[in-house]
Amino acid sequence: MFKLKAIPHLLAGAVLVAALPLQALAQAKEPVKIALVSSKSGGFSTMGVDVINGIRFAVDEANAKGGVDGRQVIVAEGDDESTPDAGRRVAEKLAREGHNLIIGPITSGISLAISQNLARWDAAFIGTMSKADKLTGEACNTRFVRTNHSDAMDLAMIEQWLKDIKGNNFAILAADYVWGHDSAKSFESVVTGKGKKVSLKLFAPLGTKDYAPYIQQLKAANVDAIWFADVSGSIAFVKQAADFNLIPKTPLIGHALLSNFVVNATGKALDGVPGNVGFTPDINTPATKAFVSAFKAKFKRLPTDTEGQAYNGAMVLFQGVQLAKSVNPEAVTKALRGAQVETLYGKMTVRAADNQLVIPNYIARVKTADGQLRPVIEQTYAETTVPAASALCKM
């Protein structure tokens, strides 16, 4: 289950290392010891591959430049098996072994299970994928920093976007766990607040393979569009929805649907589908251009949305170490709180009220670009659209 990956500090050569006196080596700075906890198995394993790839790329890049704050970056990896219990266990094991800067979980359930134990483990956690508002709401934690968009951030942007969406009657199909319910609740609130209605709400258990019963209900509902929020089941649903002629006849609106791995696995079924995205290579900032260029040079392809968000989280973590001049977990997150940091989205602020990175948001549409079918940004919403921190967060 556990795999330790030590990435050595790149020096001028082996001869130089051998020549360094032992005393100098002993006085070297304490390394940055990261616990990369993500889904190598289970329902989110496809996304997990990209998360791990993005973090590894960031670590390799940092070490190639001399480390972070002059410190070697060492990574220990663990499989959260796509479940909160396994995620908590592997994170605790790695943290107690000294790898107490945690990054990589995908689902909000796993992130919540880890976040509530950070003080007990003397650990810190950089969230790069989990969107549930609870993480920066009633369950907020001074040792947890989120670098991706929350549900509230997505829905504040989507509220503006929905002004141009045709139709008055919608259905929801969401995953039956924390994030899915948050997404459904938020979307319904936006829609009904504009005098529209949600006539059907369905929740699919994690691990659902057969979406036929849900598709039949969605077809019978005869709605104008379907709000879909079910990351782990997205490939199966999209394929089956196309086979049953639910789509494209009934438009989909995707919440976290337009991931590269879903688009790549479903042929042309998502061609023309709009939805929010957390990252694409189209983001026009110096940091994104540099990242995309370096990534293409190594892998001969563009980075995925998940790889970009994971890399961005590592960027923020490394800056926390630099600002703190320490690898102490509490010091790292304390240094980030309220700080301005360089990100793939530009220079952005980690909001002091809840440790949420405040970043722009994006609506994309699946189309052919750069010789491939992928999400392409159509609209950018400035970080000024981000809602205020939840009053439920007490930090």
The pLDDT of residue 1 is above 70: no
Does residue 337 belong to any structural domain of this protein?
Answer: yes
Residue 101 sits in the same domain as residue 13: yes
Q: Are residues 379 and 354 in the same domain?
A: no
Report how far residue 65's alpha carbon sits from residue 84's, in angstroms, rounded to the nearest whole number: 35
Q: Is residue 53 part of a domain?
A: yes
Does 394 map to a domain? no
Residue entry with tokens 């209605």: 197
**Are 34 and 75 contained in the same domain?**
yes
Pair 107, 122 in one domain: yes
For residue range 230-279, what is the model confidence (pLDDT) as tens digits?
988 999 999 999 999 999 999 999 888 999 999 999 999 999 999 999 99
291 and 251 in a common domain? no
Are residues 116 and 258 located together in one domain of the fold?
Answer: no
| Residues 266 and 318 placed together within one structural domain of the fold | no
Residue 356 CA to residue 134 CA, distance in Å, equals 12
Query: What does the pLDDT read at residue 264?
Result: 95
Q: Would you say residue 392 lies in a domain?
A: no
Whether 393 is covered by a domain: the verdict is: no
Same domain membership, residue 64 and residue 207: no
Q: Is 245 left (phi over 0), alpha (psi -120 to 50) or beta?
A: left
CATH number at residue 173: 3.40.50.2300
**Judgement on whether residues 85 and 172 belong to the same structural domain of the protein:** no
Domain membership flag for residue 25: yes
390 is a domain residue: no
- Whether residues 126 and 197 share a domain: the answer is no
| Residues 368 and 355 occupy one common structural domain | no
164 pLDDT band (50/70/90 cuts)?
confident
- Name the pLDDT band for 199 (thresholds 50, 70, 90): very high
Q: Is 212 exposed, middle or buried (0-12, 13-18, 19+ CB in 10 A)?
A: exposed
Same domain, yes or no: 166 and 101: no
Give the pLDDT band of residue 118 (cuts 50, 70, 90): very high
How many domains are there within the chain? Answer: 2
Taking CA atoms, 113 is separated from 89, 130, 134, 154, 175, in Å, by 9, 12, 12, 23, 18
- Can you give the residue range of the structural domain that contains 187? 152-277+363-385
Is 379 inside any structural domain? Answer: yes
